[in-house]
């Protein structure tokens, strides 16, 4: 093999990149990371970057948390791998399921494991199809989600995701229906109050159910705060308006808490922050603080009971992954839950969220920032060409990408999403690190806005 010289060239020669703007990589090179220190990553050249994306929202305890590393090592020593099929599972799996039900908002429940958030959403959809068929409604299969939602990349979860880029795969599959994104600032109509906007979205849901037939709809999935859609908190009263409609029509409501779960919004679950009770929760990312690939479906009492009955009737739920309930993943998750809840991480999010917001409010005074939005430790700034009319920049200017690239050059990782810049740092961030984040971001914003204005 003719080995190219640099790490960057080697990466570009042999790796296929996901969700990456390739012209930009060809021009700028790949950031090849060797290790991390707290919330910083370090590349092969020794350059340090404050990762205000927590990896992909998931490295909430930073990149070198000793307790998590030790928990992983100890479990590798004890029992490095097993499955959860055929009536066997590891002791760690048993303990994690108990723990997840205990820390869930549910009084009782059951847990099923996957390797990722996408697979957890796929699993939930299959579970709903399985359940409704077992209850004599095999036609109850359609899935409701929202435009701008992100639920994953497998064929089913990508169909749930409400992003135009999935058309290159010929997705969504039939039977996946997308409703209006509950972002009042962007989708509220001229003269429409937030309350009227929410009422319109509730009517749209009711009309969709009437048009399609409740008996054809398997479930409704929603992130409490849309993450990869650009950090979009729900319009006020949104969940309170739609939940009674779903209940009335026996449509289970699934809270996709892959990002919001375990502290990101300031409480353990996004559904608690926004005060609604789903029928099931999808978890991943923060579940292991990013130290192991793992996802989980957590069923609340009603679905747990019904799925249990369906499994008893059919004798088997024919689904699962080789590494479902992996003992090392479970041991890490047990430790991660303890770290986030009991080592002050969730508390740090709550404590610093007002400071985060105040910083963004100040930054958003700029004429080219249309809106800042978010909660806890997940925020976005939306760039606009014209503030009063909310007119976006010409897409060809790639404004958010330019801001993110300038940040990278300054040693700050943040994410461009549409015309927004997303900040979702690890929960261990200190005040000084938050100041560093804002200082670098402001430099980048001013440089890029001066270029494009
Ligand atoms: N749901 C949500 C809300 C997510 O943010 C993501 C990942 N960003 C997923 C599902 C998919 O998770 P994964 O990438 O682990 O498949």
pLDDT number for residue 453? 80
Q: Which of 55, 124, 125, 152 to mutate to test the pocket of ligand 1 (most atoms within 8 A of CB)?
A: 152
Tokens of 341: 């809840």
Q: Which residues on neighbouring strands pair with residue 369, listed in sequence order?
A: 383
Q: Which residues contact 447 (CB under 8 A, 6 or more apart)?
A: 406
- Ligand 1 is surrounded, with C-beta below 6 A, by 116-118, 121, 150-152, 223, 227-228, 256, 258-259, 284
Confidence class for position 2, pLDDT limits 50, 70, 90? low
Q: Which atom number of ligand 1 is nearest to the Cα of residue 223? A: 3
Q: Which of 19, 55, 113, 118 to mutate to test the pocket of ligand 1 (most atoms within 8 A of CB)?
A: 118
CA 375 – ligand 1 centroid, Å: 19
Order of strands, edge to edge, in the sheet holding 412-413? Answer: 33-37, 40-43, 48-51, 412-413
Average of per-residue pLDDT across 413-430: 97
Confidence class for position 43, pLDDT limits 50, 70, 90? very high
Ordered by where they begin, the domains of the chain are: 31-64+344-452 (3.90.1150.10), 69-342 (3.40.640.10)
The torsion defined by the Cα of 152, 157, 159 and 161, in degrees rounded to 10, comes to -40
CA 116 – ligand 1 centroid, Å: 7
pLDDT number for residue 427? 98
CA 258 – ligand 1 centroid, Å: 6
CA 246 – ligand 1 centroid, Å: 24
Confidence class for position 181, pLDDT limits 50, 70, 90? very high
CA 259 – ligand 1 centroid, Å: 7
Q: Per-residue pLDDT tens for 21-41? A: 999 999 999 999 999 999 999
Q: Which of 19, 54, 117 to mutate to test the pocket of ligand 1 (most atoms within 8 A of CB)?
A: 117
Tokens of 408: 């990278």
CA 282 – ligand 1 centroid, Å: 9
Cis peptide before 35 (omega within 30 of 0): no
Terminal CA-to-CA distance of the chain, rounded, Å? 48
| Rounded Cα gap, residues 100 and 312, in angstroms | 23
Average of per-residue pLDDT across 153-178: 97
Task: Tell me the whole-structure pTM to 2 decimals.
Answer: 0.98
Say if residue 73's pLDDT is above 80: yes
Q: Which of 232, 255, 259 to mutate to test the pocket of ligand 1 (most atoms within 8 A of CB)?
A: 259
Average of per-residue pLDDT across 66-79: 98
Confidence class for position 433, pLDDT limits 50, 70, 90? very high
pLDDT number for residue 109? 98
Nearest to 418 by CA among 438, 398, 437: 398
Mean pLDDT of the chain: 97
Percent of the chain having pLDDT more than 90?
Answer: 99
Average of per-residue pLDDT across 305-325: 97
Burial of 257 (0-12, 13-18, 19+ CB in 10 A): buried
């Amino acid at each position: 093999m003719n080995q190219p010289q640099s790490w960057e060239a080697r990466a570009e020669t042999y790796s296929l990149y996901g969700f990456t703007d390739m012209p930009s990589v060809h021009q700028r090179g790949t950031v090849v990371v060797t290790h991390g220190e707290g919330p910083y990553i370090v590349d092969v050249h020794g350059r340090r970057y404050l990762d205000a994306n927590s990896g992909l929202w998931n490295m909430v305890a930073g990149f070198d948390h000793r307790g998590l590393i030790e928990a992983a090592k100890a479990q590798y020593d004890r029992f490095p791998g097993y499955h959860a099929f055929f009536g066997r599972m590891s002791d760690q799996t048993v303990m994690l399921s108990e723990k997840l039900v205990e820390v869930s908002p549910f009084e009782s429940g059951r847990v099923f494991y996957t390797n990722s958030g996408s697979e957890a959403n796929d699993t939930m959809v299959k579970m709903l199809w399985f359940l409704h068929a077992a209850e004599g409604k095999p036609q109850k299969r359609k899935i409701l989600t929202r435009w701008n939602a992100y639920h994953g990349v497998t064929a089913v979860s990508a169909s749930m995701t409400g992003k135009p880029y999935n058309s290159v795969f010929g997705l969504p599959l039939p039977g996946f229906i997308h409703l209006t994104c509950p972002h009042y600032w962007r989708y509220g109509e001229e003269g429409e109050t937030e309350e009227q906007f929410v009422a319109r979205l509730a009517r749209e849901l009711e009309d969709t159910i009437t048009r399609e037939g409740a008996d054809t709809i398997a479930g409704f999935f929603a992130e409490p705060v849309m993450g990869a859609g650009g950090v979009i908190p729900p319009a006020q009263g949104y969940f309170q308006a739609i939940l009674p409609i779903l209940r009335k029509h026996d449509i289970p409501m699934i809270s996709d808490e892959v990002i919001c779960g375990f502290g990101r919004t300031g409480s353990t679950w996004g559904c608690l922050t926004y005060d609604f009770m789903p029928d099931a929760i999808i978890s991943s990312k923060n579940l292991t603080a990013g130290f192991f690939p793992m996802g989980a479906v957590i069923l609340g009492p009603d679905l747990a009971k019904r799925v249990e009955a369906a499994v008893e009737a059919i004798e088997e739920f024919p689904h699962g992954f080789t590494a479902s309930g992996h003992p090392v993943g479970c041991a890490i998750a047990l430790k991660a839950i303890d770290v986030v809840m009991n080592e002050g991480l969730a508390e740090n999010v709550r404590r610093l969220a007002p400071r985060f917001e105040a910083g963004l409010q100040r930054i958003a005074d700029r004429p080219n920032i249309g809106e800042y939005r978010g909660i806890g430790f997940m925020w976005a700034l939306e760039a606009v060409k014209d503030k009063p009319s909310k007119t976006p920049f010409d897409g060809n200017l790639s404004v958010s990408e330019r801001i993110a690239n300038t940040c990278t050059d300054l040693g700050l990782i943040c994410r461009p999403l549409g015309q927004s810049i997303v900040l979702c740092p690890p929960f261990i961030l200190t005040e000084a690190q938050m100041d560093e984040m804002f200082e670098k971001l402001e430099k980048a914003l001013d440089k890029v806005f001066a270029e494009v204005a």
